[in-house]
Amino acid sequence: MQRRLIIAIDGPAAGGKGTIALRLAERLGYVYVDTGAMYRAVAWEALRRRISLEDESALQALAESLDITFRREEQDGHVRYRVWVDGEDVSEAIRRPEVDHASSVVAQYPGVRAALVEKQRALAREGGVVMEGRDISTVVLPHADVKLFITASLAERARRRYEQRRQAGVATTLAEVQAELAERDRRDSQRRAAPMRIPEDAIVVDTTGLDVDTSLHLVWRLVRPHLTSEDGVQAQV
């Protein structure tokens, strides 16, 4: 029997991969996994417990111990996934600016990554999953059926992230956000554990200047030829 696909989506912060991955998963009836939220959850819990971001062993132990789950919610026709840590909804807390920085620091540690990669692979074992992050195609799911790298220009990504924060009532400037993203790109690409890179067998999708619907349509055209009979009527949407 054919199994449903494993789809890996990578890319830099605010490139559009999260929104595309979520909507693609919904269209296929697949499980959606935001691995970046898992690192954010570890960072948020470390900050809350006052664990030093320089204490790799303590952070690894924390990552191993946390129960991180995603719960699908539908409200007013919109679907979103809430992030729960040890029975507590932390969906908004892990998106705070201080967690942005802390999560990129935490993600540099091999021990933390190993702990979370094990959890991520377990979620994808049976197929029927769209998983997004920065090392999914290269490390977490190197044998994924479809590998996409979603990106956009730094200026475009900064504009998107700035708008997200403005709508959330977070005081910042576009210049500050752009500098923050540039630094995040540098750390992600130069970290010693699983640096972000474009896999040779991944399809690069540049969403600069594209709205969500256009980007999703482009990705759907790339994914659809790989769908199997196990995807049934969902694939015909």
In the predicted model, what is the mean pLDDT of residues 171-178? 94
Can you list the domains of the chain with their CATH numbers?
6-224 (3.40.50.300)
In the predicted model, what is the mean pLDDT of residues 135-151? 96
Instruction: Match 């540098």 to its residue by tokens.
Output: 186
pLDDT (tens digit per residue) in 184-210: 899 888 888 888 899 889 999 999 999
pLDDT at 2 (0 to 100)? 63
pLDDT at 158 (0 to 100)? 97
pTM of the model: 0.88
**Of 233, 237, 196, 231, whose CA–CA distance to 6 is shortest?**
231
Inter-residue long-range contacts of 48-53, CB under 8 Å, 24+ positions, other chains counted:
53/102, 53/105, 53/106
Supply the mean pLDDT for the chain. 92
State yes or no: pLDDT of 228 exceeds 50. yes
Which band of pLDDT confidence, cut at 50, 70 and 90, is reported for residue 233? Answer: very low
CA distances from 211 to 20, 55, 164, 207, 237 (A): 11, 41, 15, 8, 20
68 CB-near residues (< 8 Å, 6+ apart): 37, 38, 41, 83, 84, 85, 119
pLDDT (tens digit per residue) in 42-99: 999 999 999 999 999 999 999 999 999 999 888 887 888 899 999 999 999 999 889 9
Which band of pLDDT confidence, cut at 50, 70 and 90, is reported for residue 237? Answer: very low
